[in-house]
Structure 1
């Protein structure tokens, strides 16, 4: 049963990620049927202000000793650094040893990692920091595509708003769906989102590292609807098929077929965001030919079906999904 939540804040804490913890666990919602939760804001030096990442100051009311006995110990994001306060790391280790649930929001996973609590664990963090987390803690089992990971007594979340998903997951598990739904309604967020963080990752067009294929790549982008074979592309580039295939990989880092699929997905993404085209028309305009083929490749690369992506990011009214 979730009765007490302790949020540990350190210098240069991120206010939004800290605010997520406050909003989910720190507000009395007993009138809406949510069981009472004692929320403690804890720091190394209680009563002394610490800096946030936006220039404001935050004053923790409690010291690290108030973490003792908390059912959930939460670590919001903070500016990345080489070392974290040893007193904070030791407090987290003690909480883990006594069986408390631990939660990190966004880059708060680096603090759990520095405490040695992610070794051999499945975990995640913001997609921009994933490789850095893996480089720093090579024994972790990183899943960069999800909104949150629950492994044993540790929950790690992806960037920023994914912390809401992780917090509501914990509420749902510990206090039931009714409590999670009540909190979500007050926050005006879905109780449970579809997909993972791949749908939020930037997908830049792979850059060509030399000039020789640039005209061909531009032509391919202008003709996404056309069928393209290696033989036809090699003739247009005035190379043998073998030489063309080798040169294409050398300059783009991938094969012609994979490069073309990625560009078609990127174009489909733009059409889903900016137009009212049906998914069938998006598939036709982006060169996939059928909605089924679009859904297959879109879901594989972006992580959600086209209709779910449009629901989240579409600026125009959806006519058909």
Structure 2
């Protein structure tokens, strides 16, 4: 059965930023974008209409949806920006996207498949199809986001779409992606040589670097100290939380030591694993609650909880208040 999709409200900021770039007033469109940007869910027909109306303001441009996608910033994708920070390679980043895609589209649609020497991320048709303009903007944003994290980024080896465009627009797509582009395919696809999956993610984006610094400071408050082991443990924890499995055994394995040795390291700070995990989650939660682009569900998953209610109970146990009330206090 086809899956119903929506987009997250932060995604509408992509179009608003493109309007700014084009110096377009769009007095009828901007208030609607501002209203929807505050929503967790934007129905696909609404997003499709907003995008079409915005692109119509630049009817002389060829494939302007690609320019919209190239405006992508971490704030447009919320939780994905944090997950990129926890990814060491392009392959890990793609897997992180797949795991959290439901936060953006309301369903996990992406499939990652290996065929010979190629790795492919693909999306099947959905009940509420985005349409070519929205698909084009989304894949342009995905490729742009990855390009900004990699030194001398290689182009994809193949991109394809469900829909079709005119010949001039098709040429613009090939120039943008730097590879052949297919049309009227059974899936939307982005394909890379398998070897590219091991490319390191150096985290060059200054906004992402600021987020990383904030995470490091939050973890430092949970476990003071400056040894290499402590810094390694902080980095490992971010990855384990993103995977949803922050256990002592997995942390020890990632650090190439026994669980008993890791317990001794934590005991030197008068902490058990669970105490440190709780303290770290609390400090990171305070950090994340100050970021308006993250919903409480986003934050729960970033902290390794399976659902928002589990995060809410834990936060109340840590602080005596709810995360929603704490966010209102921070915002106020």
TM-score of the pair, normalised by structure 1? 0.31
Give 1 or 2 for the bigger CA radius of gyration: 1
Larger helix proportion of the pair: 2
Q: Which one scores higher on RCO, CA 8 angstroms, separation ≥ 6?
A: 2
